[in-house]
Chain A
Amino acid sequence: MKLVLKIWRQKNADAKGTFATYRMDDVSPEMSFLEMLDSLNKKLVEENKDPVAFDHDCREGICGSCGMFINGHPHGPVPAITTCHLSMRYFRDGDTIWIEPWRAKPFPVIKDLIVDRSAFDKIQSAGGFISINTGAAPEANSILAKKKNADDAFDSSICIGCGACVAACKNASAMLFVSAKISQFALLPQGRIEAKERVREMVEKMDELGFGSCSNSGACEAECPKQIKLTNIARLNREYYKAF
């Protein structure tokens, strides 16, 4: 199929960006969105032009690096998938596709569609872990957890930290991400020991890095490729009130 791509080009964080137009004449519906961009870059390099910089790694929906805005939606218009899983079948011959990077102050553009998401790592290292003595095997089954809690903790833990929630939010709030990381531990006995410090420090770091406040509009939940629930945010708030 034939497509027109409008892609955000920006040399670096300080440069002014702009949309560039590219025409694609031979896109196959079997391609993934990233394969389509690969074929554009192949062509650009053959013409000795600067290829479009975009991030990608696993291409199986679990690394979280391929985030980009496609036609106004993080990871594209199809719910519950990452860009790498987005198939070109979902587009029509003759479509114009707008492709942009995440737009949020704490995620500065590095180049074109690649943003610096290290703010998420900083929040994680402020408390997104449990402290244990490694080196020896703990007694199996000595700490019991309810099946329901273990299942809910698992559902929260599947957050891949891609940043779609921040990109979707009009306030660039990181609450869905932080609440998933908090919930993953808050629901399990191993996570209770450091629960108070964890929530205080992660929230403090999140605010310090310039993420906005949550106004409960739910855009994050609607756009999350891993379907992380808004109830995580309610849990985060409860954990936060209990921590003082």
Chain B
Amino acid sequence: MDAINKQGKKAIENKYGNLFEMYKTITGIDPYEEPMRIYPAGHYTMGGLWVDYELMTTIPGLYAIGESNFSDHGANRLGASSLMQAAGDGYFVLPNTISNFLANDIRTPRIQTSSPEFVEAEKSSTERLNKLLSIKGRQNASSFHKRLGKIMWDYVGMTRNEAGLNKALGMIRELQKEFWKDLNIPGTAGELNMELEKAGRVADYLELTQLLIADALDRKESCGAHFREEFKTDDGEALRNDKDYAYVAAWEFAGEGKPHILHKEELKFEEVEMKVRSYK
């Protein structure tokens, strides 16, 4: 409103016209008349799969590029920086690195589906699908997804604290138990089955959210979109602790039901100095 009064509606329309129009169509509220309803929220999971400098994951030959990897630092990645990374990884890095892997495999003959690795992978995938299908409970995958989302929204948003995180962890463990007892997926695995597809994702989310919480509990500082209420300056700004936490937390999957193993990758700054960003 201040901006409209100062610069005039026309100036704001030139800058944000499309955005305002879209907001009005979706919400039914005219943003020129009423303040927009916005809420700060974490952008996706922000981190991503650990990769080496060639962008290869811990599985040989499996590369993760763009927003799916941890972007060297594992920290916040908002709109423009994720786009820049997608372009950077695809345009500059991968063309120079993936050939290193492919060069060694150029004489490898076509891998047969009868190879023991394939047979094993197919067996474990089929078992997982059958396990989901055989629960035959009452609720669909989306209901669990919604409830999981509510827990994350309430306790693992940008602002979080130890008590809330622990509470959420307990709630998610209970929800996970309920999921594996009361999920219902009509139909079979031999057809297009959107419920089965969604259930596979929600099963993963139930694990990933627990890892997110473990990481948020472990990082006893405030940094970017991780604002721990216990760690703030007197005037309420994020209080970072570079002495103890200037590292990437790379969590290794240690097997189902086992706690993840933390690998710390120190962040070293040679050309630039690490600074605190001020929004004032």
Contact = CB atoms under 8 A, between A and B. Distances in A.
Interface of A: 11-12, 38, 41-42, 44-46, 48-51, 53-54, 61, 78, 80-81, 85, 87, 89, 110-111, 114, 134-137
A238 B92 CA distance: 35
B140 A87 contact: no
Interface of B: 22, 25-28, 90-92, 95-96, 138-140, 142-143, 184-187, 191-192, 194-195
A208 B192 CA distance: 27
B186 to A, nearest CB: 5
22 contacts: A12-B191, A12-B192, A41-B140, A41-B142, A42-B139, A45-B186, A45-B195, A46-B138, A46-B139, A49-B186, A51-B194, A53-B192, A81-B25, A81-B26, A87-B27, A110-B192, A111-B191, A114-B194, A134-B91, A134-B92, A134-B95, A135-B92
Given A50-B186, A53-B194, A110-B192, A42 B92 contact: no
A4 to B, nearest CB: 22
A136 B96 CA distance: 9
Given A41-B142, A87-B27, A114-B194, 10 more contacts: A11-B191, A12-B192, A42-B142, A45-B195, A46-B138, A51-B194, A51-B195, A53-B192, A114-B192, A134-B91
B183 to A, nearest CB: 9
A50 B91 contact: no
A41 B27 CA distance: 24
Report whether over half of chain B's contact residues are helix, strand or loop; otherwise say mixed. Answer: helix
Contacts of A137: 92
B191 A136 contact: no
Nearest to A46: B138
Q: Tell me which of A41, A44, A81, A87 has the highest count of chain B C-beta atoms within 10 A of its own C-beta.
A: A41
Contact of A78 (B25, B27, B194): B25
Sorted nearest first, the 10 A-B pairs with minimum C-beta distance are: A45-B140, A135-B95, A134-B95, A111-B192, A134-B91, A53-B194, A50-B186, A45-B184, A85-B26, A135-B96
Nearest to B195: A51
A46 B191 contact: no
Contact of B140 (A12, A51, A114, A136): A51
B80 to A, nearest CB: 15
Nearest to A85: B26
A104 B26 CA distance: 29
Contacts of B26: 81, 85, 87
B88 to A, nearest CB: 10
Contacts of B91: 134-135
A136 B191 CA distance: 45
Contacts of B186: 44-45, 48-51
A150 to B, nearest CB: 17
B78 to A, nearest CB: 15
A48 B187 CA distance: 9
Nearest to B142: A38
Contacts of A78: 25
Nearest to A56: B194
Contact of A80 (B25, B96, B139, B191): B25
A128 B266 CA distance: 43
Contacts of B138: 46
Contacts of A11: 191
A110 B194 CA distance: 12
Contacts of B184: 45-46, 48
Nearest to B28: A89
Nearest to A111: B192
A42 B25 contact: no
Contacts of B185: 45
A89 B142 CA distance: 23
A42 B143 CA distance: 7
Nearest to A137: B92
A61 to B, nearest CB: 8
